[in-house]
Each structure stands twice: as C-alpha cells, then as structure tokens.
Amino acid sequence: MHHTPRNQPRFVLGIITGMIWLWAASAGAQQQPPAAPSAGVSSSQTQVGNAASGTTGAEQPGQNTLNKDRLFGVLPNYATVENEHQFGPLTVKDKFKLTADSMFDPVTFPFIGLEALISQAQNSDPEYGQGLKGYGARYGTAYGDALFGTTMTTSVFPSLLHQDPRYFQLGSGSITHRSLYSVSRIFWTRNDDGNHGFNYSEIVGNLVAAGISNAYHPAQERTISNTMSVWGTDIMWDAVSNVAKEFWPDIRRKLRKNKDQQY
C-alpha cells in the first residue's frame, strides 16, 4: 500500500520537536518556573501586550485575543495556553475561530505545500501522476486532510461535547513527567465547565475526519484498514505536536534571555 499525503509524517515538526526534547533534557528545562500566562484564546479574558514575549497588561473581560506566539518562531501556535488558571471557557465562535486562524495562516499554505512536495517526490498516490497536475492534486488532498482534521478536533466536536480544544501547558516538573503529560492530553482534556474528562473531541474527531477523507482520496485507499491507519497516524502527530507545545515556551524564554544578555 502506498503512503498517502494524509499519512505523510510531518517530518519538520517531528525533527524540531525531537531537537526541543533533547535541548530540554540537556538544559534542565524542568528547572524552569511555571509559564507566564502569555498564550491562548479566552472568551472571558484577553491578554494585552506581546503574547510572544510573555508580557501581559490589563485584562478586559468579554473579549477574545489571538495568541501571536509561533512554534519555533514560525508555525502558528494559537491554541496553546501557558497558564490554565488564567483562562475561562471558549465560546462556539471562539472554537471555530481557532480553526480559521490556523488553516488560513500564511505559514500553513507553504507548510502543507512542503508535505505535498515530499509526497510527490516519493510518488505517493501514483494515480495523481507527476508535474503540476499531480502536485496540485496532492496539495489539495493534503490541505483537505488538515482542514477536516482541524475542524473536527478543534471546532465541531469541542462545540458539541463542550470540551476545550486548547493545549494547556504543564510548565514545571521533570522532562519525563512533562513529556508524559503532553502525550496524555490526547486522551484527557479540560471541559468547558473546568473539569477534566476523556478527550472524545480528539479521538472521535480524528476518526470522523479520516472517514470523510475517503470521499476525495483514490478509491483503492477507501478501506477500513487504511482509514484506521490514517486515524492512528493523525493522533500520533497530534501527540508530537503537544510535546512541542509543552517545551517551546521554555526555549522561547531561554532564547530571549540570552538575547537580552547580549545587550
């Protein structure tokens, strides 16, 4: 069976996440204090100031704000919260806004384009052929996979099930403990009422998205086994993404501290 774009590993995210974990282990990120409340989207509070730099200002209830921080300084990081207690529940509008902000971010398009380019180089889905036509088909399916996956896990199911789609950073503890925590958020999440429960939005949402993708992928790939493989792969890469979100704020602060010491 040929690997499809939807099964294509997000190798860039995977490699950099591995580098982040190694950095955290060597630099002792577990010694970092709990993260400053500098990221996330809230329907009850808003951060004023530079979210990417961790500075905040007055809070204005009833407004929403976009987390301007970016993973590795590039990838949109709109759904990460660095201090859970600083944020209230999201509205349905907020949840759909998270999807729109992520999927229409200027960086998302070339990032997916890179995935499609690698897929074409490997001749995944040979039915698409090569050249611009083949690349266009691969790009379209890759973007569709990302769009449906994000919509289901960030907007649709969190709204229906009253769950919070954001990642809430632990921010303290050993490297191992924080890594296990970040992976566990795939299965355990915060609900809108502040309590925690099984993350149906992630698990069921990705399964539904994998099923929907059968509508536009080649016919020979529309099998139960391939759909389950896609489902598992999507969950795996969401777990990798969580690890990156957990340790990135530590690195961001470290880089800024080093920069400040140079002046």
Which amino acid is located at 66 in the chain?
Answer: L
**pLDDT, position 210:** 93
Q: What confidence tens digit (pLDDT) does each residue in 206-240 have?
A: 999 999 999 988 888 888 998 999 899 899 989 99
Task: Give the residue-averaged pLDDT of 190-213.
Answer: 95
Q: What confidence tens digit (pLDDT) does each residue in 118-162 have?
A: 989 988 888 888 999 999 999 999 999 999 999 999 999 999 999
| 29: exposed, middle or buried (Cβ count in 10 Å: 0-12, 13-18, 19+) | buried
| SS3 of residue 113 by DSSP | helix
pLDDT at 201 over 80: yes
Taking CA atoms, 50 is separated from 39, 222, 246, in Å, by 10, 46, 19
Q: What confidence tens digit (pLDDT) does each residue in 154-182 have?
A: 999 999 999 999 999 998 899 999 999 99
**pLDDT, position 2:** 37
Residues 6 or more apart whose Cβ sits within 8 Å of residue 138: 5, 116, 119, 120, 124, 125, 128
Which amino acid is located at 114 in the chain?
Answer: L
d(CA 25, CA 105): 31
Which amino acid is located at 10 in the chain?
Answer: R
d(CA 212, CA 145): 9
pLDDT at 104 over 60: yes
Taking CA atoms, 117 is separated from 63, 121, 156, in Å, by 40, 6, 30
Q: Average pLDDT over the chain, rounded to whole?
A: 78
Question: In this structure, how many other beta carbons lie within 10 angstroms of the beta carbon of residue 98?
Answer: 24
Taking CA atoms, 131 is separated from 2, 210, 263, in Å, by 19, 27, 50
